[in-house]
Structure 1
Amino acid sequence: MASFRVKGGKRLKGTIIPQGAKNEALQIISAVLLTSEPVHIHKIPNIRDVIKLIDLLADLGVRIEKTGEESYRFTAREVNLKFMDTEDFKQKASSLRGSIMILGPLLARYGTGKMPRPGGDKIGRRRLDTHFVGFQKLGAKFNYDSQNAFYTVDGTNLKGCYMHLDEASVTGTANIVMAAVLAEGETTIYNAACEPYLQQLCSMLVRMGAKIQGIGSNKLIIEGVESLGGTEHTMLPDMIEIGSFIGMAAMTQSEITIKDARIDMLGIIPDTFKRLGVKMEFRGDDIFIPAQEHYEIESFIDGSILTIADAIWPGFTPDLLSVALVTATQAKGTVLIHQKMFESRLFFVDKLIDMGAQIILCDPHRATVIGLDRAFPLRGISMTSPDIRAGVSLLIAALSAEGTSTIHNVEQIDRGYQFIDKRLQALGADIERFD
């Protein structure tokens, strides 16, 4: 198990380029199974979850060529469906939550799909009902073997239909869209997720020959086609990484430029950090964060305490609530962080409290952060990363803290942030990886 040793209290400076979007990559790479023609994808992040998915596709018989440092060409001409019956498939697919994304393409093109119950972050209940109910509405038959934790779906002769999703699940919507593009007839998906990742997926599918209306809205209309062709696609920069770097710059009083941020696709992320008092400038498509010794949390117009809550797009992404929380610990003022979607995601605050942060964990979903304007700097401690987003939030805290911190289980951070230690070292961070 790898760990980070971080000597905090150093100001960072320089330019950093965000990686390709992890959450988009898992959808886009799965979509290559929809066609026998080559699909060339650029800006693929070199992170554990994405590499695991690429390896899984290779085991399924997809031809994979690395054409550049962040570029791959995928050709799914001959897919070995029998691999899904092997113990090797069960072990590999169950270790990656993103593996669920291959079900929609397999059902659409081959009429069958199998999947062990996938893993991922332990941040609370993350049910898969939306995926399977959507497949059933398209005519698929679903079976779950609870003893072996194995899903089997028969999607022979999928037919378009109208469906109203019970939740605007990003991965659920993506999976249903990929199943519907080759289904017979018209499919309407209402209460669809409309995150930029979904917009990217739908735009790529249209270039492959799919017929999709309503991209960017919560109502998608899909007219099934007989087959799809190849295409070329470039990932968006990872908005979660961009938000993490904004919070890191504020916490460490650093002057940082985030290059090529696709500001037009960041939604309210920049404004949310501005409400925490973080100054930034948009310079073309770059975000410049000046060094700030002090930043102050806004209150609502009536003077009441600011609340930052997660919501489906275009609301504030739940993946950045942990970063917003840790950023507030060194601000001036008070904020209520309300994590609505996952009931275990705020439990990492006990580590911040041990570091000296003033936080009241109200219940599993809400935490009140009392920022003391750096009057009492955080102190370095030994801690363990519980999941990707909490892990990087603890790393940000360690970078700002006095003394040395040790963070164990950094493989969790590696699942979402590529070469994070080397990239931070380039900005002047004192961070060392060790086993």
Structure 2
Amino acid sequence: MSKLSKFKIYGGKPLHGTIQPQGSKNEAFQVMCAALLTTEPVTIYNVPDILDVHELLILFGILGVKVQKIDQHTYRLHAADVSVDTIDIEALTAHGGKLRASVLMLGPLVARLGKAIIPQPGGDKIGRRRLDTHFIGISRLGATFNYDEHQQVYMVEAKNKLQGDYILLDESSVTGTANIIMAAALAQGKTTIYNAACEPHIQQLCKMLVQMGAHIEGIGSNLLTIYGVETLCGTEHTILPDMLEIGSFIGLAAMTNSHLTIQNAISSDQLLEPALSRFRSLGIKLDITGSDITIPSQSSYEIQQDINTHRILTLADAVWPGLPSDLLSILLVTAIQAKGSVLFHQKMYESRLFFVDNLIEMGAKLVLCDPHRVHVVGLDRSSPLKGIRMTSPDIRAGISLLIAALSAEGKSIIEHANQIDRGYERIEERLKVLGADIERIE
């Protein structure tokens, strides 16, 4: 997949069929980095075949991890010979600077080796994305940090074995929580993390670490207690379906008036409900049978008002089990053809909503009130969107623009398709099976 590729889409066609969600992108990064904590092999199933995972695997190779690809979605990671002493820093920064997940190597490397070299992480340009929570938390366990401006890397060292401590997180950072959990798993003594993130992928990371021999209490809550152990063993772990991709397919079905079934979407833990409830609030019907979700075609779907009031519905991102920030852009584009009005409030990132200028040009009836809020007045299918040429600025905005393009009349071009490839596996091939008229142009 070329960095210069783009999508050409002829929209306005209902889709039909079944689709299988990929493994969770955010979970994959955390559980794959957890393999750095042990000298024994770790096998991970349902790994999404996306660009950002490919970059992480390159980073593992730079560190000395033996990566065995069992099949398209299964990897065996063996970090027995991992080292930072002879690391190629130029290669580390070149690849680590492409994705946010590179920072997740910090906790495992410091805990196991006593030192780490971490590049300035990349990822989506959606606003300020602090690293303070990572650094402050792991510093409380005994590590020191220095930033090498020349090589643009963080040099982290723990002269003695990490020591457990009480840590109150200044923000409920998902990756920050994951890093501290992994570091604390091999620290001496007891670590308490308060205001911890408790998203499904954090819960999955904790469950995997327990299988490896870690002692973690409070899984699923914002108060975690970790009793450090001397070593962790290898394990096998299966990644959950990606709820953000599931949400994308729900939005796609609603916008294109399609009948779609998402197979094997719901795990036994029912962790999707906080996301599904927000689509229901837009009036979208969801039929759940076993682990499958069917979205029937709807000629109209109406935004629900607050009970006993006439106030406009407000959807705002929040820490779990609130609305995931990554889902807000998808819900926003889905609301364009709903009946009624809704205010979207993106609290976490100040640059995530700027892509809506493209939606306005396509004919959406919305107002960007400020960098954090968008008021959408649903068209109720009274007029279709029009295809235009646009650029994908980040993963979630990119898939939102793709959904809009598939619902629009005429031709759309989406530049920088690689932004979508970073989080969605072979998306054009899978959509073609549903009847989408989409082509990748290199």
TM-score in same-fold range (> 0.5)? yes
1:155 offset after TM fit, Å?
Answer: 2.1
Q: Does 1:237 align with 2:241?
A: yes
1:246 counterpart residue number? 250
1:83 offset after TM fit, Å?
Answer: 4.3
Question: 1 CA distance for matches of 2:356 and 2:94?
Answer: 32
Question: 1 CA distance for matches of 2:196 and 2:286?
Answer: 32
Secondary structure of the residue that 1:81 maps to in structure 2?
A: coil
Percent identical among aligned pairs is: 60
Q: Does 1:200 align with 2:213?
A: no
2:66 counterpart residue number? 63
Q: Is the 8 A contact 1:84 1:90 kept in 2?
A: no
1:150 counterpart residue number? 153
Q: Does 1:275 align with 2:287?
A: no
Question: 2 CA distance for matches of 1:114 and 1:313?
Answer: 30
1:6 counterpart residue number? 9
Superposition pairs for residues 130-149 of structure 1, below 5 Å?
130-149=133-152
Structure 2 gaps of 5+ residues are none
Question: 1 CA distance for matches of 2:272 and 2:263?
Answer: 14
Q: Is the 8 A contact 2:84 2:117 kept in 1?
A: no
1:365 counterpart residue number? 372
Q: Is the 8 A contact 1:182 1:226 kept in 2?
A: yes
Structure 1 gaps of 5+ residues are none
Per-residue deviation, residues 204-233 of structure 1 (Å, max 9, x unmatched): 000000000000000110000000000000
Q: 1:426 aligns with which of 407, 411, 433?
A: 433
1:88 counterpart residue number? 91
How many residues align? The count is 435
2:230 counterpart residue number? 226
Secondary structure of the residue that 2:377 maps to in structure 1?
A: strand
1:80 offset after TM fit, Å?
Answer: 2.9
Question: 2 CA distance for matches of 1:167 and 1:155?
Answer: 24
1:184 counterpart residue number? 188
Question: 2 CA distance for matches of 1:74 and 1:376?
Answer: 51
Per-residue deviation, residues 161-217 of structure 1 (Å, max 9, x unmatched): 001000110000000000010001100000000001000000000000000000000
Question: 2 CA distance for matches of 1:158 and 1:20?
Answer: 33
Alignment-mate amino acid for residue 355 of structure 2: F
Q: 1:334 aligns with which of 338, 341, 347?
A: 341
1:147 offset after TM fit, Å?
Answer: 4.9
1:426 offset after TM fit, Å?
Answer: 0.5
Question: 2 CA distance for matches of 1:113 and 1:397?
Answer: 43
1:58 offset after TM fit, Å?
Answer: 1.6
Q: TM-score, normalised by structure 1?
A: 0.99
Q: Is the 8 A contact 1:59 1:83 kept in 2?
A: no
Q: Is the 8 A contact 1:14 1:256 kept in 2?
A: yes
Q: TM-score, normalised by structure 2?
A: 0.97
Q: 1:15 aligns with which of 18, 27, 33?
A: 18
Question: 2 CA distance for matches of 1:341 and 1:411?
Answer: 24
1:46 counterpart residue number? 49
Q: Does 1:103 align with 2:139?
A: no
Q: Does 1:401 align with 2:408?
A: yes
Question: 1 CA distance for matches of 2:140 and 2:229?
Answer: 18
Q: Is the 8 A contact 2:102 2:119 kept in 1?
A: no
Q: Does 1:36 align with 2:39?
A: yes
Larger mean CA deviation between 58-67 and 239-248 belongs to 58-67
Question: 2 CA distance for matches of 1:279 and 1:343?
Answer: 31
Q: 1:211 aligns with which of 215, 222, 234?
A: 215
